[in-house]
Structure 1
């Protein structure tokens, strides 16, 4: 070996050793952290965490180390909270300390700490307060959120009706309707269902969520500091998110050109007006960068999470037609068939309310929750966790906690019903997270789920083109989100008669259509399924 080569090799070894020491030096502090598997330099706990089965990997570590443990995603240290008690204690009882937002590497590349969801400190507090107040003001306006949802539900029912009972994939039917609700709030308008650019944006949102839930996503989470310099799926994710933000920027510029300060049309107008009020404040958080990213947050979350839950809900009802049967009977008793469902109906519909809660619990759309972070050095359950440490409060472990749900791995509306059949709340129901970081759109999302699903069941019997035993409820992809499997359904319209409609859809077998042509109250009961009803 030549002298120059030896010197270079020695330099590399020294630099690597220095990096190792800097990265893993805080051993004394780690000794007071929650227990966990020993990490390898640079690789962290790559050997213990299966990127394609991250949730199961965390569950296995919980069984070994308890409900609070430490893992390393590459060089990044994360404390995991597992189960209702640990998550509640952190996010509710110790809300201030656990209210920081941790990093999600793929999003961080684009949002860079701006906007509502991924910001911290004063920026987050101002944006959250403004967003909550603005959404509330829209709900109190002439066109309340409920009216917006009802109008979109009518459009959705008409789109279902156009299928004439033939099999179809409901994915973009649902995402178009759900997205139009949030679009009417943030952009002041809804989009035509045939609008190609709108459909393209929805496809990009869907693909971003799918990729964020893939094996690649966890590898990027661990090694973004290296992978960002190489080609891969992350480049397409970044491009898709950039395309969405460019669309939002166009809408902002259009609003700026036609802004009426006395009559704001949408969330963007309200934000622009606040920007003008604070134009002389050098430390203001109301600027275009935060506006773009906040609208991106609302548009993305308000489109995909609710539509994914609805997709799961329809699939579950296909799997368990006896549940659909009881829901339609309750809809007939309380709402009838001539008017649109309203939120005031829900309190009189305990079974439907229980099914909606159970759909959200069972589908578990965001299983790991968004990462939190410690806002200060914190003593928690005998451990010392340094300020800035990322925290994963695993929502799936809460909503499938066996101490809170009798049969957490099964779909059972009885999880939310008492012995008399009345609706029974459960504190472990946290699909929107809990504490200071609870989703600002919780009320709107709950409204959409109730009105959309009941409006569909008012007009159609849901039938599966495949045998019930072949319907698989397992997610197509599971990671950041649980992505529902691809499937088709038949929405067979009611015809206001107890006689079976003679013109049965050719692609739905005769035996699967049954008495779908009759109004629900005239349909014969199929009897309870012991696995579903108790």
Structure 2
């Protein structure tokens, strides 16, 4: 996250516009947008890692997002095994860990397919994204000695698992608190109107948005985002 060349700010602003358009399609009718928020967050990671994004109704991504959510949930539920390893021999206690491994394999499968697709269309003179740069490094071994395709695979998986649910949950809790506290929502709205106007917010606006920053920080202070 930075201003200028090499920043993912442009991807974030583009995806925010897509999410806004998705919400506008409902013409003010109530609907559950939790999945759409998760897709928006994951698409930022996808654009950085894979150079592509998923549609909000894409069935492949729906399965992927459900797998991500299950992995995070089950890892948190089964953490007692890390403290007491002998419990893993008890089927009932070990069930969360087994579920997490099963769902994690789905995430790995999607990323493995992406690596194959990237290798097939790799432009060595113009790498486009994280996987392209990693594949070039695998060929040349110039900067990272001993880097393997498995390393790349699990680094990409970590980007998804560590980045998607955490960020999406932060946004969803923030939106819930805004709904429950309309007076604070109005203050945030007025601040955004005064500083940002009708254009999409940018990272350069951050120092001028103390109310927005405070609300986000307060959300992260009072809510545990993951069961870890």
Partner residue in 2 for 1:347: 207
More helix by share: 2
Counterparts of 1:265 and 1:353, CA distance in 2: 32
Q: How far is 1:219 from its partner? A: 3.0
Determine the structure 2 residue equivalent to 1:161.
Answer: 24
Structure 2 residues not aligned, in runs of 5+: none
Correspondence list, 1:27-46, <5 A: none
> Which structure has the larger Rg?
1
C-alpha separation in 2, matches of 1:285 and 1:298: 21
**Number of matched pairs:** 226
**Which residue of the partner structure matches residue 198 of structure 1?**
61
Counterpart residue number, 2:119: 256
Query: CA offset at residue 223 of structure 1?
Result: 3.6
Matching residue of 1:483: none
Q: Tell me how far apart the structure 2 counterparts of residues 316 and 361 of structure 1 sit (CA, whole Å).
A: 13
Q: Quick one: distance in 1 between partners of 2:219 and 2:146? A: 38
User: Does the residue aligned with 2:54 lie in a helix, a strand or coil?
Assistant: coil
Matches within 5 A, 1:126-205: 140-141=5-6, 144-205=7-68
C-alpha change, 1:169 and 1:285, in structure 2 (3 Å) is farther
Distance in 1 (CA, whole Å) between partners of 2:88 and 2:213 is: 45
State the distance in 2 between where 1:302 and 1:346 align: 21
Quote how far apart the aligned CAs of 1:161 are: 1.3
Shift of 1:260: 1.1
Query: Match of 1:277?
Result: 140
CA contact (8 A) 1:170 1:311 kept: no
Would you say the 8 A contact 1:191–1:198 is kept in 2? Answer: yes
Deviation at 1:226, TM superposition (A): 4.4
- C-alpha displacement of 1:277: 1.3
Alignment of 1:404-419 (within 5 A): none
1: CA distance, partners of 2:158 / 2:4: 19
Aligned equivalents of 1:224 and 1:235: distance in 2? Answer: 14
C-alpha change, 1:197 and 1:224, in structure 2 (3 Å) is: farther
**3-state SS of 2:91 partner:** coil
Which one scores higher on RCO, CA 8 angstroms, separation ≥ 6?
Answer: 2
CA distance, structure 1, for counterparts of residue 51 and residue 90 of structure 2: 39
Show structure 1 runs of 5+ residues with no match: 1-134, 367-478, 481-534
Post-superposition shift, 1:345? 1.5
- Aligned 1:14-413 pairs, distance under 5 A: 140-141=5-6, 144-214=7-77, 217-227=78-88, 230=91, 232-278=95-141, 284-336=145-197, 338-366=198-226
* Aligned-CA RMSD value: 2.3
Q: CA deviation at 1:352?
A: 1.6
Task: State whether residues 71 and 103 of structure 2, in contact with CA within 8 Å, keep that contact through their aligned partners in structure 1.
Answer: yes
- Give the number of the structure whose residues are more often strand, by fraction: 1
Equivalence map 1:429-440=2 (5 Å)? none
